[in-house]
Each structure stands twice: as C-alpha cells, then as structure tokens.
Amino acid sequence: MNGFFGAHQFEIVAFICSLCFMFFIIESIRKQLIKEAYSLIWIFMGTILIVLSIAPQVLKLVSDFIGIAYPPYTLSLVLITAILLILVQYSIVISKQTERIKELTQELGLLAEKLSKLQERLDKLDKTEKSSK
C-alpha cells in the first residue's frame, strides 16, 4: 500500500484540490470578485481538472494519446497548460488596459489644459468686470 490513501493517492488529492478550486472560483464569482468573462475560463479549467481527477480512464486515454506513461503527470501537464493559457489571456487584457490608461491620461492632460485656459479667461473677465464697476 503506497501512502495514506493507497494506490490512488494522487487522484484523490487531485480531486479534493479540484473541488476546493471550484468552490473558491464559485465563491469569488458570487462575491463579484471575478468578472463573468473571466469566470468562464476558470470554471472551464476547474471542470476539466475535476473530470480528469475523477475519471482515471479519461486521464489514461489522454496520457496514452500524448505519450505520457504515468497518467498523474498528464493531470499536472493540463494544470500547467491551463495556467499558461490564463496568463497569456491576462497579458492580453493588461496590454489593452495599459493602452487605454495611456489614452485616458493623454485625454485628461488635454482637458486639464483646456480647463486652465478657460479659468484664465474667466479670471480675466472677472477682472475686467470688477475694474469697470
């Protein structure tokens, strides 16, 4: 008997971790900490992890297909691939947001300059009104 849970220790731990992961994602969505667009990616990845951890035959089939002899390594590979895909997706979002922030900063600078010029004109008008009284 290997380990505390026997021969399927890795699968049991993977299943428990996958369930905890899904619980965390669902709670984050419920508390609106994750936007809906991003939550779909996380739910999809969590579902894949749960399926692969509770269906060893699917994991074995995928492992055989990609040429990995030990199926739990495939589960780790899927997890690492999912993390990389999510990181790429977030990099795209960050790049878009950085560009948007740059545009908004430039726009804010132009508006501040216009406001300053308008304030100067208003001050001049106030001075001319006060001097004409």
- Report the pLDDT value the prediction gives residue 3, as an integer from 0 to 100: 55
pLDDT confidence band for 103 (50 / 70 / 90): very high
Query: What does pTM read for this prediction?
Result: 0.62
Q: What six digits make up the tokens of 1?
A: 């008997």
Nearest to 48 by CA among 24, 70, 18, 27: 18
pLDDT confidence band for 19 (50 / 70 / 90): very high
3-state DSSP of 71-93? HHHHHHHHHHHHHHHHHHHHHHH
Interval 41-72: pLDDT, tens:
888 888 888 887 788 788 889 899 999 998 87
Helix (H) or strand (E) holding 100: helix 71-132
Helix (H) or strand (E) holding 9: helix 9-30
Q: What six digits make up the tokens of 112?
A: 């501040």
